[in-house]
Amino acid sequence: MGKANGSRECAPDDRLRVPTFDILAEMVGTARCAFAHPTICVKESMPSKKDQELIDAATKAISRRYRNDWQEVGAAMRTRDGRIVTGVNIDAYIGRIAVCAEAIAIGRAITEKGDHGIETIVAVRHPKPGEHGKIAVVSPCGICRELIYDYDAKAKVIVPDSGRAPKVVSIGELLPNKYKRGIE
């Protein structure tokens, strides 16, 4: 494999090659690889045993508390001090007052022991009655991406990977060019 802009080696064993344009590579701040086709090299990893523990904890949380049209998403996070904290979404008839499972988990962690950062977080969705499929990892919504980043800019997030095993990415990969207050 070729060097990415002369500085990063893009190896097939640890990089995902995604077709793109040069401008996109600049926008997300990643290197453009020297392949036959333009690509972005993104570092990714498969879930570890610790990550699978989080997926299992989120699955257990929503399995216990699932209510059709009310509680459909469960989340689990590992704080930087090693605790696993779970939450389920709170839905409402007025959608804008609904609260996502990730926000509930973050709030519980802070309420119970204080803010110790987010090592890794995951959300899973329970299928509706009669819906094909099983409980599966889902990506955080845009608001949750902002919230996760605000509470720990180095957090890892477990996300779905097009029908393959979930993958682990940084929150920065899910939210490039994050808005920050004040002077940068």
Contact 171, 157 (CB under 8 A): yes
Active-site annotation, residues: 102
Indicate the SS3 state at residue 85.
strand
Q: How far apart are CA 89 and CA 84, in angstroms?
A: 17
Q: Which residue ranges does the chain devote to CATH 3.40.140.10? A: 49-174
Please determine, looking at this structure, whether the domain spanning 49-174 carries the CATH number 3.40.190.10: no
Residue 17 has pLDDT above 80, yes or no: no
The residues, any chain, with a CB within 8 Å of residue 139's CB and separated by 6 or more, are 123, 157, 159, 160, 174
Per-residue pLDDT tens over the stretch 108-165: 999 999 889 999 999 999 999 999 999 999 999 999 999 999 999 999 999 999 888 9
Report residue 178's pLDDT band, with 50, 70 and 90 as the boundaries: confident
pTM value surpassing 0.85:
no
pLDDT digits 0-9 by tens, 76-111: 999 999 999 999 999 888 878 899 999 999 999 999
Q: Are 16 and 42 in contact (CB under 8 A)?
A: yes
Torsion of CA 67, 105, 136, 176, to 10 degrees: 130
